[in-house]
Structure 1
Amino acid sequence: MVLETINTYYEDYLSLEKFVSNNGEVLLASSNRAVLVQVFSGICDKNYLVAISRQIRELIPGAEVIGTTTSGEIMNGLVSGLKTVLSFSVFRHSDIKLVFAEKDIGDDYELGRSIANTLNSDKAKVLILFATGLRVNASQLLKGVQSVNDALPVAGGNAGDNRSKNTQRFVCCNENVTDCGVVGVILESDHLKVAGHSHLGWQPLGKEMTITRAEGSRVYTIDYIPAYQVYRQYLGVNTNSNIFNVMEFPLTICKHGIIIARAPFLRYEDDSIGFHGDIAEGEKVRFSFGDVEMILEKVDILLQTIQQQPVESIFVYSCASRRGFLQESAQIETLPLQDIAPTAGFFTSGEFFHADNSNQLLNTTMTTLVLSESNGSQKVFAPEPERIVCSDSNVAVIKDNVADRSLVILKSLAHLVNTVTSELNERTAELEAANKALYLSEERFSKAFLCNPDPISITTMNAERYVEVNDAWLEYTAYQRDEVIGHTSSELSSWAIPEERDQIIIQIQEHGKIRNLETKFKIKSGEIRTVLLSAEIIDMENEPHLLFVSKDITEWRMAEKRSLELMMELKSANLELKDFAYIVSHDLKAPLRGIRSLADWLYNDYQDKFDEEGKEQLDMLINRVDRMNKLIEGILRYSRLTSKNEEKTVININQVVEEAIEMLQPPNNISIIIENEMPWLTLERTRTQQLFTNLINNAMKYMDKPNGEIRISCQKQGEFWQFSIQDNGCGIEEKNFDNIFTVFKTLKSRDEYESTGIGLTIVKKIVEIYGGTVWVESKFGKGSTFYFTVPSRN
């Protein structure tokens, strides 16, 4: 055994001195690295706690003490009240650091952050905290700790008392004691193993209620009724009752599939109630009752779980309401733990627990902290058949069967409550379902009718006399209600084409309904509107009626007509633009061909007549003519991009890329690498080849390295394929990332790099036609990577 815990009751200094002497081999050993003493005192007296701490530190030099007042104590699994338990834990491979923090006017969240920042470290394994919960908001305190290190386990709880009037609650750290603050200890080690467990065992019963007004832990109304009045109604408390008398019946809240309890502790003059923990407005709550069968089941599971790991010490931080509910049988949860390892702890007014990187303030819950410095996986504690129950070494044999008569009564009562509640819930559910169905049916129809934005009317079966119309119908037609109800459609001339009414009635009678039938409707002003009409037969007061719903599509029809006109205009404009581009390029090409022919003739026949400057000027002329010709060709290609002159087929992108490379014939100093297998996609072959050709050619054109390298790759990203063309060329400054896709835009002089400035513009246009995007990432002087995406399905 590495970590050793020895528990005892405190009676006086002499008995403590004798206890330390009898256990000196453990408590005073030179191999001890740290000694932590937890004081759980049922005596709520400040001077008493100071005296105990001073005596412990006098008898065990170097011992560190933290303590709290209690609503009951646990010593070697036994439960007591108004006693003081001392739990001595001797660590051989762990360090401990203490903190004492009195609350000032600052908020409790920042208090938690301050404590965590003081104690947090890389080797921190667990933080044990005791707080004076009546004057410290433990929920905010725990959130503050979590904000600094959400992975640090937190255990402990709020200080308790014996429920006597004017009793204070204290926490202590060595000789420092406060009734408004927090004490804590952090355990640091490379060897310490820590596990935390919790269980409730309270069964929700009764109807679900809603918190309708609350601030933090103070609840003002439940279902709009003062909170105390709700407790009075259901639990029979009178106006003079102490709310503590019903803390065993907490409200339960279901959060993320887990039932969390909130126990009451204070009644305010306005009949609001203070709870041990925050409750938010809008949360759904139910009363709950301890289910002994469930508690026993949870204990069995806890015992099995704990024994799956090394165990040397167990600390229990359980709720006072559990002790109040189980009474003399409270030991059914704690005594079995003593058979695994030394067990000590106290009954709190709120338990601190850590799960899923979140610190939680629990109520009515039993939490356990399991510690071990052992490296083995076996159980490391084998208790004697008898247990020490007091400091003078008197021995009492504890019966294995602790379930006394009161436990049997509680089990029977819980079973009776659950059975009766279940039966009542079934009957209530049936009645509520029937009433709800009727109410919802009427409410839905009423809401759908009155609030629907579409015009709705109800008429007699022959579609003549109006029985009811909604506000949307009146607003749409500009009639007043008294101008419509009781009048006929003939009187109002509602049907623009009266013959259509008779045809619609016949269709409804044959099929029971019509859907989205286009017709003409006349409103009060005489304007004729186009509507989609739906109708159905409904029953009103045992008489068949017709329900009409109209959706006006007049503007939509007008927009549709205008859209068709614009489409025709656009189509005509595109044809004219295409013809214009062709004519312009043709008219430009003719003189260019003449200029080029004349330049070639001069170059071939009069070359010897030119000096060096003349030859240079002639070469420049030829280059300018060639550049102009390429520019015209680029304009033509760009103007043809939107023409659907090629069918989409399933093409092998690998093959398309290889053909583009072969056509470009890269120089020997540039290597082009296809890094992975390309997909088969449904695209136009020519357009796709042009896309890759332009990007690869661009990379080749601006290659300024003696050993150029171009890498082509792809990867699937959701519904798209992403392709990349990466080079180690001259790169692009970030300010020019958008400019390079602009038509005629080049970043280098055309005399330095031969370019029309259309290639990347064509790339962008092709990618956008396919519904993808194109962009560039580049480091100036190191190279560029062009990315583009196309849908995996086209």
Structure 2
Amino acid sequence: MPNPITIIKNNSAWSRLPISYRGAIIIAIPAICLLGTLGAWIWSRQIGLNTLNQINHTEAVISKSNQLLMSLLNAETGVRGYHINREDDFLIPYRYAKTNIPTILLELDNLLQNNLQQSAKWNEIKRLVNQEMNLLEQKIYELRLQPEGTYSPRDLSLLSQGKQVMDSLRSTIGQLQSEEQTLLTRQQEQLENFRRVITYIQWSSAWISAAAYWAAVYLFNRLDQDLRERELQLSESKTFIETITTNIVDAVITINYKNQIETFNPAATDMFGYQHCDVIGQDLTLLLIEPDLPIAEKKEKVNFWHTNLLQSERRWQTTGYRKDRTSFPLEISISELEPDAQLMIIIRDITATEEAKAKLQSRADELARLSSILAKANTDLEKQNQELDKFAYVASHDLKAPLRAIASLSEWIEEDLTDELSGETRYQMTLLRGRVHRLEELINGLLAYSRVGRVKNEIEIVDVKKLLNEVIDSLSPPDTIKITIASEMPILRTHKIPLRQVFANLISNAIKHRDSAEGKITIAVEELGEFYKFSVADDGPGIPSEFHEKIFAIFQTLYPRDTKENTGIGLSIVKKILDHQGGIIDIELNSDSGTTFYFTWPK
């Protein structure tokens, strides 16, 4: 059996990685650290050089501006000396400035051409420099025209203008140098900060490199340990698999990457008839392809198995072939065994399952045939019901017409022979019309009874209290009979007409069958699970318990029809409606007098 500790260790994320991936990770750790350190050094060196270049640029601007200012001051001082002594040696600084200032201006122009913040000041400086040089040139020209020792108002004016221009020039150059000095200070601080960052990065890189080295050493040790544990696990797993496959009822076969059989358990021997030595090293398709196929067709099927079926981790149903060349249906389940690129094939003989499926399919076909017969029978029954409805309508119409004629004829005879008829004959005529009306009601009752359950009624929202009021209005009970309806009557979705017929028959019986002119009828309801239980109670003479079953049979009455007119169909209709709706009806004698009918109706 495999060592549980070994299994737990090897279930870690590191152990589940392929060996090539782990080796690549171990090599990648110091390589990444080296590349990171090198990249940080290149980046920091480039940033440092950029910052140093900016510092040099700023220092050059300050230096050149100082040089420009000094050249102008020297030129102005020389011109002032020439103004006093009229010696040409005093004009040497002026000539030097005239030669070098354009070069200095060009250099500063190059240095400040991309500096948008200083562009306005620099343009002003160039204008003032040109103005100052022009003033100095005019002053020299004027002095050379005058005799030595003489001065003109023009000299004083030029001297004053030169002083103002130089003051402005000093101020503007001072501002420019001040801003550049501020920028220089900031750049020097950035360079110093960056040098500290570089030092931190170098130390961090050293620590990370050391950690990476130890991590690589640790992972190498883990890899070596995992390899030893995997070797042990493989040995244990092989023993474990052999133990399982020896005792399992399904055929278990392992194949290598060439699809050659390496193990063949006893169940596979029993299933295919091959001995272990017969199949080791053979292609698995030996068991899955018909042996008598032509070579070309067999080769095509072998290629199909190798490129499609054996590469998919799923279940397949196909046909297996035994050593004696008989075939049988089987189910193949394929799983990959790591790390040796082996496949484990589990094969199950599904002969019994296929036979059961065949039997089930046969029964399903038989059920479909019976369903078809039943559907045809339902269709025929529906046609017969339609014919029965038509017959009942025609029969009732044809029977009612002569009955109405008999009733009318008896009335006409009685009217025509009023003076000649005796009292007995008048009684017989009245009795005749009573029998005609009874027969007409009997025909109506039979027609209603035959339609119960066959006439389709729409389901609708029914307010039972409103329905009861409609029924009572249609029955027109005498004023001496008080009918009370409970206040909490439900509102439900149901077939309205059948429910109306039930209430109408029960309330009509309670009105009709009584032994006194006055009376009371109470209609109530209570919830009973998935049903409502309605009750119709009266205070009449009551129905003896021995007749409680009999009264629901068709044509059954408690009293002779000569003493009390009744068709004996009303309660039969009620019973049939409730049977069709899934309800029940019961009867109970009240403790004092009268009868209570209970019936249930689905919600």
Which TM bucket (shorter chain)?
0.3 to 0.5
Q: Which has the larger radius of gyration?
A: 2
Give the TM-score, by structure 2 length: 0.42
Higher strand share: 1
Comparing both structures, which one devotes a greater share of its residues to helix? 2
TM-score by length of 1: 0.33
